[in-house]
Structure 1
Amino acid sequence: MTMTTSSQSALTWQDGVIPVSTRFDDPYFSKNDGLAETRHVFLEGNDLPARLTPGFHIAELGFGTGLNLLALSLITKTPTRFTSFEAFPLPAQDIARALEHFPQARAVAEPFLTAWGKGQTKFQIGPIAVEVIIGDARDTLAAWPHKADAWFLDGFSPAKNPELWSPEILHEVARHTAPHGSFATYTAAGHVRRSLADAGFQVERRPGHGKKRHMSAGRLP
């Protein structure tokens, strides 16, 4: 499968290194060390890599620059599946520029960037089999036939991108989560936590990364 370019997200660059979506007026990663935030929120928030076993399936809302995927690839040699839902894919050259800010991630990114530059949305990076599903998650997630063991909820902020944090989307996340599966997200917005709880997750607020006081994580019973 190859991606279409008609819906690619326009961006500007803050301080020359941080991509900011002009559509959502929000940066693609934290100004306070995005790679460290990824590790704290999404990896530690889902108790990874401790839970990884062959075939473990991670799903993500908001692929962005692929930073979460690359952070995962740096900590595991376990065969893992990774599915990400992205409405506005970035061109490979912009992703490469953004990743220069994170030498560790950039050092393992070449297989991804090569595939992405060819328009491929299915590729392998180390032990991780990746599929990026392009389109509006309100449609693509509902049609997805799989269930994830862990979710990275990493869309633009709920205030800027409310559609991706609606009760309907978060119920679909729960519906597409395996028993005892988990989620983690940087946001601690009350309506997001309530919607996740209503969807069936046991939700907790945890210390956030850097200057961010709180984040959210949880599991299905």
Structure 2
Amino acid sequence: MSDQQADLEWRQDAIPVSTRFDDPYFSLDNGLAETRHVFLAGNDLPARFAPGFHIAELGFGTGLNLLTTWMAWDQAGAQGPLRFTSFEAFPMSADEMARALAAFPELGDYADRLVAAYREDTTLATLEGIEAQVVVGDARETLAAMDFEADAWFLDGFSPAKNPELWDEALLAQVGTHTKAGGTAATYTAAGFVRRNLAAAGFEVTRIPGFGRKRHMTQCVKPAA
């Protein structure tokens, strides 16, 4: 478990905001729709789902991205296990997670199962139905020690202006190293230095329309070998 926990305040009594980074955990407009636009559509999902498909993520937060993907996987009738590896430096408590996810009744039983497993073990070792793992700690240290190549990345750290550490060149280079040839990455931000760092990490980087009030987002492909 991390020595540092999430520091939260709540807007509209429902939306968690990190006081450490002065940034909400999900869109003030519609967090579920944002996840579907940025991370699913941004990685051409669910069209690319295949047995053993592996998604990796920077910034686990409330677990919303995992839940949205898990539901899409089941609704698509995808076969075999879905793998989901997420990195989180400042985990929230199970009660905070439950309070945040209450904003999305559509997630129903998926959210209940996630919160119950997270309450037992923040690494999600007991969660059934998806091969999920939350790696707690500084991703700049933990990712380099991992041995996997993801099919798709969700880059969901707090705003690059407020949390530049999660978007630095060395960490995004590790993201590139831990991506299969032909794999993808997507993020809500179109900040210039983030796009440059992703290009330096070996991705072909494209700026596309963002969600809601965000004009642009970033979509990446690692060229096939």
Please state which band the TM-score falls in when normalised by the shorter chain.
Answer: over 0.9
How much has 1:185 moved relative to structure 2? 0.2
Asked if 2 retains the 8 angstrom alpha-carbon contact of 1:207 and 1:213, the reply is yes
Task: Measure the CA separation in 1 of the matches of 2:3 and 2:148.
Answer: 27
Asked if 2 retains the 8 angstrom alpha-carbon contact of 1:123 and 1:131, the reply is no
In the other structure, the counterpart of 1:191 is 193
How much has 1:84 moved relative to structure 2? 0.1
In the other structure, the counterpart of 1:115 is 117
Q: Is 2:111 aligned against 1:124?
A: no
Residues 169-218 of structure 1, C-alpha deviations (whole Å, 9 max, x = no match):
11110010011100000000011001101111000000001111000001
Tell me the TM-score normalized by structure 1: 0.95
Q: Is 2:6 aligned against 1:17?
A: no
SS of match in other structure, 2:207: strand
Q: Which runs of 4+ in 1 moved over 2 A?
A: 122-126
Q: For 1:153, give the aligned amino acid.
A: L
Alignment map for 1:42-121 (pairs within 5 Å): 42-77=39-74, 78=78, 79-121=81-123
SS of match in other structure, 1:76: helix
| % identity of equivalent residues | 59
Asked if 1 retains the 8 angstrom alpha-carbon contact of 2:2 and 2:137, the reply is no
Asked if 2 retains the 8 angstrom alpha-carbon contact of 1:205 and 1:217, the reply is yes
Equivalences, count:
217
Task: Measure the CA separation in 2 of the matches of 1:42 and 1:154.
Answer: 9
Unaligned runs of 5+ in 2: none
Asked if 1 retains the 8 angstrom alpha-carbon contact of 2:91 and 2:136, the reply is yes
How much has 1:119 moved relative to structure 2? 2.4
Alignment map for 1:127-138 (pairs within 5 Å): 128-138=130-140
State which of 177, 181, 196 in structure 1 corresponds to 2:183.
Answer: 181
Instruction: Please provide the CA RMSD for this pair.
Output: 1.1
